[in-house]
Amino acid sequence: MYVPYKMRYSLSTHVRKRSSPPTRATMVRTSGPDTMLLLTLAAVASGPVAAYSWPDPKIDLLESILYQQNGYRQYGLAFGVSPCTNMANMQETGRDDSAEWFRTAYHDMATADVQTGIGGIDASIGFETDRPENKGKAFNETLSFILAFQSARSSMADVIALGGLFSVGSCSNGEVIIPFRGGRIDALEAGPTGVPQPEEDLDTHTAAFARQGFNVSEMIGLVACGHSIGGVHGENFPEIVDVVDDINNQASRQDFDETFDNFDNSVAKQFVANTTQNPLAFGHNETTRSDFRIFNADGGELIRKMAESQQFFWDTCTTLLERMINTVPKGVKLTDVIEPIPVRPNNLFITVNPNGTQTISGEVRILEDGVTSANRQVLIHLKSRDGKNISSNPVVATTQNGLQVVGYYKNLPSFTSYTFTTTVPTTVGVSAFDVQLKDGNTDITNTNGGGGFPFQDALITQAESTCVGLEFFSTKSNNTLNISVAVRDDMEFDTVQLWVPKPVNMIGTFSTRFEPTSTELSKTESLNGTGYSIYSGSYWFTVDSVGPMKTFDLFASGPNGVVYNNFTRWADFNVCQ
């Protein structure tokens, strides 16, 4: 079984020769994956895995959401299904997020046609919630919860896949850890119909799963895995489950097995033992006994194996569910499996001071290996603007209680963050740093592939004088960013711009699209004796409710080159007073 081991890179930039302003790829509708075999993955690039170098815009944010679940600088997506019985909508009993998040991921994938390359996990489910094949509140309520984690670098489709992954991880207490790859692209419209329905016959189900890329045996396994948690809601399917008057079960849910909140093989064991309460196996409506027909499609061979061995059940589900979330439209190229990054910076800032110095601060997140001593030293070796070591004495980074992050369930990594701050003359500047880890007899220096962790000082947000505002009216919100940027005078920039991936609401779905927008920043102050000037500006937009994760980029160009300061979160700044 696969067992794996936050991030902001506000000052991770690239300096290049003069070129046009940055472009942002717009979201496009694409088509679906090639046919898959049991142990193969759709749309996964082949070839050697490149060594990680920070920052990597394709995976860094997703790695944060995936692994920084609970604790310091946590991303709260996994909280929605932790514990497995959690339900964000406390107004109705008889429901839980874990089963509904998993159902959302499957229904989004279920219309895929691997031969034509149309469909897969692409967030088209948001446009399809009014279809009879997508009954219930689960889909819209799932999307409205996870919307906060959609961003310019984490598509709604990626977040839907993460939601399914977290559901299974939480409900199995980490026994099923699905390897995750990012890079899914959001659809801008509804996809085809074709989610399998309980009243359909076996031939229809077999054809539907074949269209998705799964043979008969895989169909049986996938259904058993999916029906290990949750149940059928009578309020949505009264023809399958009776509607009951029960304050503790307002959704009139009948569970698939006796351990509806535990991702285990009970659904298989109880079916084989003929003691099942699964309404899709032995419900009063024979027409809708789809699980009975599917589980017996191979004469009952696979479901018996899944019933006999909990580990076989988990291993089978790990393989099939990885394939499920990796079923994506044709042309979508997923990343390599996102592993926890051993050493990575967070929240790097430079503040230009009136006395001709600049305060350099940040954090380093260290992956724990379980054997670290309390005497570990984390040393930061800063490099000057010209690439030389600033001092023979490294900056000491320190930690304390409260700077740890852990997972909500077993088999997940834990991290400790170490903070540092120092001051250097503005004439010296900073361009990068290495991280030295000393622990007992171990002394390792991480150079980020040889060039150090980038930390440019030509185009830097001034955190203390930057703020954000959020004002609600009706069902919408005004989002305002007032930004202050220190710009190095010797770069002689002709233009300094703020770029914002503006969230734009789409009709018929909770998901948003991002529209690249820019505004010029104006020089408002010269900081005499520092070699810097301050550029300022504001940007605002209106979006339904709170909306997705808000970020911004900075861009400047001139005769001495182009500088990008990419992907800074609005949430990392104080609220405007």
CA dist., res. 240 & res. 259, Å (int)? 20
Domain 343-457 has CATH 3.40.1830.10: no
C-beta pairs of 76-79 under 8 Å, 24+ apart in sequence: 77/146, 77/149, 77/159, 77/162, 77/163, 77/166, 78/166, 78/169, 78/170, 78/407, 78/408, 79/408
Phi, psi of 536 (to 5 degrees): -135, 160
- Measuring CA to CA, which residue among 52, 44, 79 is closest to residue 65? 79
Instruction: Write the CB contacts of 497 (distance below 8 Å, at least 6 apart in sequence).
Output: 21, 518, 519, 520, 521, 554, 555, 556
Task: Please give the CATH number for the structural domain made up of 460-575.
Answer: 2.60.40
> Angle, nearest 10°, between helix axes 310-325 and 216-226?
100
Architecture, CATH, for domain 76-325: Orthogonal Bundle (1.10)
The residue with tokens 């409900």 is 171
CATH 1.10.420.10: which residues of the chain? Answer: 76-325
pTM of the model: 0.90
CATH 2.60.40.2440: which residues of the chain? Answer: 343-457
Q: Rg of the chain over CA atoms, in angstroms?
A: 26
Taking only the tens of pLDDT, the chain with its 577 residues reads 333 332 322 333 334 333 333 333 322 222 232 222 222 233 333 344 467 899 999 999 999 999 999 999 999 899 999 999 998 766 789 999 999 999 999 999 999 999 999 999 999 999 999 999 999 999 999 999 999 999 999 999 999 999 999 999 999 999 999 999 999 999 999 999 999 999 999 999 999 999 999 999 999 999 999 999 999 999 999 999 999 999 999 999 999 999 999 999 999 999 999 999 999 999 999 999 999 999 999 999 999 999 999 999 999 999 999 999 999 999 999 999 999 999 999 999 999 999 999 999 999 999 998 877 778 999 999 999 999 999 889 999 999 999 999 999 999 999 999 999 999 999 999 999 999 999 988 999 999 999 999 999 999 999 999 999 999 888 888 999 999 999 999 999 999 999 999 999 999 999 999 999 999 999 999 999 999 999 999 999 999 878 899 999 999 999 999 999 999 999 999 999 8
